[in-house]
Amino acid sequence: MKLRVGNGCWHAGHVRAAAICFEAGLFAQEGLDVEVVHAKINPAGFQSSRPDGERYDEIGTVLRDMIAFNIDIIPDVHVRTPFAERALGNDELRIIGGWRNQFRGTLIGAPGINSIADFKGKRLGDWYKGGIATMWYEHQLRKVGIDPDRDIDWKIGYQYGSIREAWKPLLARETDVAIVANPFVPQLLERGFNKLYDFVEDSRPHGRPDTG
């Protein structure tokens, strides 16, 4: 049985366990013919299967990525991903197993932005359009009467939307709003930025469905 295993986002650490199993011969012991592949953004490990230098963070959905690159199994995918795919009209993904996944991020606004109602005409940082973050933003914007297509200046790219990097263009005033990893929040608050939504604190007592 031939199976192709690849990571579902930009860093190859997501296929580490599969790579270890491959090297240890565990797949072969189970009668499985497995190939492990990863993105070109990390050229140091297994040889990339990505043509033309394409990056994972330019792929809109996990399912489209799996079909485009003939990937059968993606490890370390958010539990919420199949539900997002279903919302996009795709129901082919299945969860085989899962583990507790925490999203330690906070929605931060530049000085003067105190709520989502203040987003109209502002520059909003997002990794790529059409993902989980986009869907959340669009829902929240529509709730306060803002058209996400006409009333928002979307700043798209890894540097604007990754919670690890989004604090930098926010601090440099290249964006007005972004979701930032919690360790970077205190320094932004010290500089007059505002905490709008903490995805850890504001989701208690029950938390988000994919973190329990």
Q: Judge whether residue 135 has pLDDT over 60.
A: yes
Q: Which two structure tokens, joined as six digits, stand for 99?
A: 């583990």
Compute the CA torsion angle 85, 179, 211, 66 (nearest 10 deg). 30
61-84: average pLDDT: 69
95-124: average pLDDT: 84
Q: Which two structure tokens, joined as six digits, stand for 82?
A: 């199949």
Q: Could you report the per-residue pLDDT of 6-15, keeping only the tens digit for each?
A: 776 555 667 7
* pLDDT for the residue numbered 106: 94
> At 39, is the pLDDT very low, low, confident or very high (cuts 50, 70, 90)?
low
> At 95, is the pLDDT very low, low, confident or very high (cuts 50, 70, 90)?
low
Q: What's the CA gap between 79 and 101, in Å, rounded?
A: 8
pTM of the model: 0.61
171-178: average pLDDT: 96
Q: Judge whether residue 188 has pLDDT over 50.
A: yes
Q: Report the candidate in 132, 166, 155 with the shortest Cα–Cα distance to residue 61.
A: 132
- With beta carbons less than 8 A apart as the criterion, state whether 8 and 76 touch: yes
- With beta carbons less than 8 A apart as the criterion, state whether 194 and 114 touch: yes
DSSP 173-204: TS-SEEEEEGGGHHHHHHTT-EEEEETTTTTT
Q: Judge whether residue 176 has pLDDT over 90.
A: yes
Give the domain ranges of the chain: 2-77, 105-198
Q: What's the CA gap between 184 and 68, in Å, rounded?
A: 36
- With beta carbons less than 8 A apart as the criterion, state whether 185 and 99 touch: no
Q: Could you report the per-residue pLDDT of 161-172, keeping only the tens digit for each?
A: 888 899 999 999
Beta strands 105-109 and 177-181 are: antiparallel
- With beta carbons less than 8 A apart as the criterion, state whether 27 and 15 touch: no
Alpha helices in 113-154 (DSSP H): 132-143
146-169: average pLDDT: 93
Backbone φ/ψ region at 121: left (φ over 0), alpha (ψ -120 to 50), beta: left
Kindly report the backbone phi and psi dihedral angles of residue 72, in degrees, each rounded to the nearest multiple of 5, phi listed first: -90, -40
* pLDDT for the residue numbered 57: 43
Q: Judge whether residue 66 has pLDDT over 80.
A: no
Strand partners, 154: 124
Q: What's the CA gap between 171 and 142, in Å, rounded?
A: 27
Q: What's the CA gap between 196 and 115, in Å, rounded?
A: 6
* pLDDT for the residue numbered 101: 54
CATH topology assigned to domain 105-198: D-Maltodextrin-Binding Protein; domain 2 (3.40.190)
> At 53, is the pLDDT very low, low, confident or very high (cuts 50, 70, 90)?
very low
* pLDDT for the residue numbered 29: 92
